[in-house]
Structure 1
Amino acid sequence: MQHLQPHWHGTLWLAPDHCLIAGQAGHTGSHAHYPHQVLIARSGEVEALVDGKAERGPVLLIESGREHAILTAEQSLLSLYAEPLAFELPLLRKVCEGVGADVEGLVAALSRLPRRTLQPRLAKAVQRIRELDADALPAAELASAAALSLSQLERLFSGELGVSVRRLVLWQRLRLALQLALSGHSLTSAAATAGFADSAHLSRTIRRHFGIRGDHTLRHLQLRVIG
């Protein structure tokens, strides 16, 4: 008989620049993603393998781009995903350690937390990405909206944000697809609307970013939209 791996259960709180899963942790394979991740145990400690090294504590902060896997499946916890372009890491850590596993308290504290200040042209490009819908959004269009050449835009993103334009657009498309899937759309419909080639492309992207199977996990999550 095949062993069934535990899936994530709980509520996904979705905001423009962060999302929060509150519930029971599921199995994840090793993965890395653009947002910072903060794991907050409801009791005891949470354990994760980060860059091949086991780390544990009541609050674990995993910086953007670091390879990791959660080791304490089926544990009750909060998992926060916060965009590096919006949040300063020291402030984010301080808030999470201060509030702990109080979901409503953390949602309120994050809404009050000051965001990073971006130079105006970069802020305009980022805002355009946040407004993504079903339309294609090539990097050249972003550059034009920010009154920059494409090479200038790429240098600004990599220099100030430490992320490529393509990676940020992909994250926003993934966020849109998750919102649609959790709102009742099929993976096929969510994938097409968010600009993925097909549901298989979306599923691969979910696995690469979160280490989970989207078709198995999303059915166990409820959606709460913030803002």
Structure 2
Amino acid sequence: MTRPDDPDRMDTAGEWRGTTLLQPGWLAFIGAVGAADPHAHAAVQVLIVTDGVVELTDPHQVRRPVRAAIIPTRVRHALHADPSVRATMLYLDPASGAGRCLTARLAGPHHDRIEQWEAAARALLPPAGLGAAGDAARDPATLVRGWSTPARGRHPALQHALRTLPQLLHGPVRLADLAGAAGISVSRLGHLFTAELALPFPPYLRWARLRRAMELAAGGASLTRAAHGAGFADSSHLTRVTREMFGLAPSRLLAALPSNTP
């Protein structure tokens, strides 16, 4: 069970109060949201505002309110929210079927503009409008299933690297090691990450480590132990990466995680 009524966890989360769901291929935050400093995800973000007003700022310094948006990987943006805002924020692993589906729809010369993010949301969220989207926002798994349509197969070497990577996250991970195990050159494997996931290997590795740290925290590990178990140098390193990717301190996400501890 989540513990949204635990006062210590709520104080740590500040304006961000809700539930963080962590599932294979995606994570989601559902609840009251606050501001987020400029950041760039290594995941595809789906934002659905269910109550209140959220404003996004894109890399061109255009700032405007949105009800729903789909933001591609590696695009720097900021979020501003009034005190009453409730929303769902869904983050899709770019290697997942749903992540690849949305990435393909967001490609193009204007992928870093708010109007493109809103257009993608109008096209890909339930067609009945925000009422239906609001229902889906309470159960993001329904959205993920809808987007996880069969896609062309990944290159076998990339598949091998993606299967191997989670086993190595507790320590140093070199692209050369993954390439050697997959029987491919380093440059070729690096190209496959960028070409098929729209994300170079280093940010994908940081994203994988961050997910692993969240899994460990959900199992009851302290922030320091979660950081070390996911291959970060220390909790400060984990904090820097979380701020880079979410514009938040890790405590704001971890405070809302389901816990396996009593």
Contact in 2 for aligned 1:6/1:73 (Cα 8 Å)? no
How has the CA–CA distance of structure 1 residues 39 and 104 changed in structure 2, closer, same or farther, with 3 Å as cutoff?
Answer: closer
Contact in 2 for aligned 1:16/1:130 (Cα 8 Å)? no
1:1-227 correspondence runs (5 A): 6-43=14-51, 45-51=53-59, 52-74=61-83, 75-86=85-96, 87=99, 88-89=101-102, 90=105, 93=121, 94-98=123-127, 99-102=132-135, 103=137, 105-112=139-146, 113-114=148-149, 116-117=151-152, 118-215=154-251, 217-218=252-253, 220-223=255-258
Deviation at 1:13, TM superposition (A): 1.2
Deviation at 1:135, TM superposition (A): 4.1
Contact in 2 for aligned 1:20/1:78 (Cα 8 Å)? yes
Which deviations, in whole Å up to 9, do the C-alpha atoms of 1:49-98 show, x marking residues without a partner?
Answer: 12121133321121211111111154100001112333212398444344
Give the whole-Å Cα distance in 2 for the aligned partners of 1:181 and 1:221. 11
Letter paired with 1:81: Y
Give the whole-Å Cα distance in 2 for the aligned partners of 1:109 and 1:201. 32
Letter paired with 1:197: A
Which deviations, in whole Å up to 9, do the C-alpha atoms of 1:7-61 show, x marking residues without a partner?
Answer: 3111111122211111111221111121111110113553211212113332112
Structure 1 stretch 170-179 or stretch 180-189: which is displaced more?
180-189
Q: TM-score, normalised by structure 2?
A: 0.74
Equivalent residue of 2:63, what SS? strand
Contact in 2 for aligned 1:14/1:224 (Cα 8 Å)? no
Equivalent residue of 2:29, what SS? strand
Equivalent residue of 2:125, what SS? helix
How has the CA–CA distance of structure 1 residues 222 and 154 changed in structure 2, closer, same or farther, with 3 Å as cutoff?
Answer: closer
Contact in 1 for aligned 2:49/2:88 (Cα 8 Å)? yes
Which deviations, in whole Å up to 9, do the C-alpha atoms of 1:83-118 show, x marking residues without a partner?
Answer: 233321239844434451334543133135225432
How has the CA–CA distance of structure 1 residues 179 and 154 changed in structure 2, closer, same or farther, with 3 Å as cutoff?
Answer: same
Give the whole-Å Cα distance in 2 for the aligned partners of 1:100 and 1:132. 38
Deviation at 1:198, TM superposition (A): 0.6
Q: TM-score, normalised by structure 1?
A: 0.85
How has the CA–CA distance of structure 1 residues 145 and 73 changed in structure 2, closer, same or farther, with 3 Å as cutoff?
Answer: farther
* Residue ranges of structure 2 left out of the alignment (5+ in a row): 1-11, 107-119
Aligned residues: 221
Give the whole-Å Cα distance in 2 for the aligned partners of 1:144 and 1:115. 29
Give the whole-Å Cα distance in 2 for the aligned partners of 1:146 and 1:107. 32
Contact in 2 for aligned 1:13/1:20 (Cα 8 Å)? yes
CA RMSD of aligned residues (A): 2.7
Give the whole-Å Cα distance in 2 for the aligned partners of 1:194 and 1:46. 32
* Residue ranges of structure 1 left out of the alignment (5+ in a row): none
Residue identity over aligned pairs, in percent, reads 31
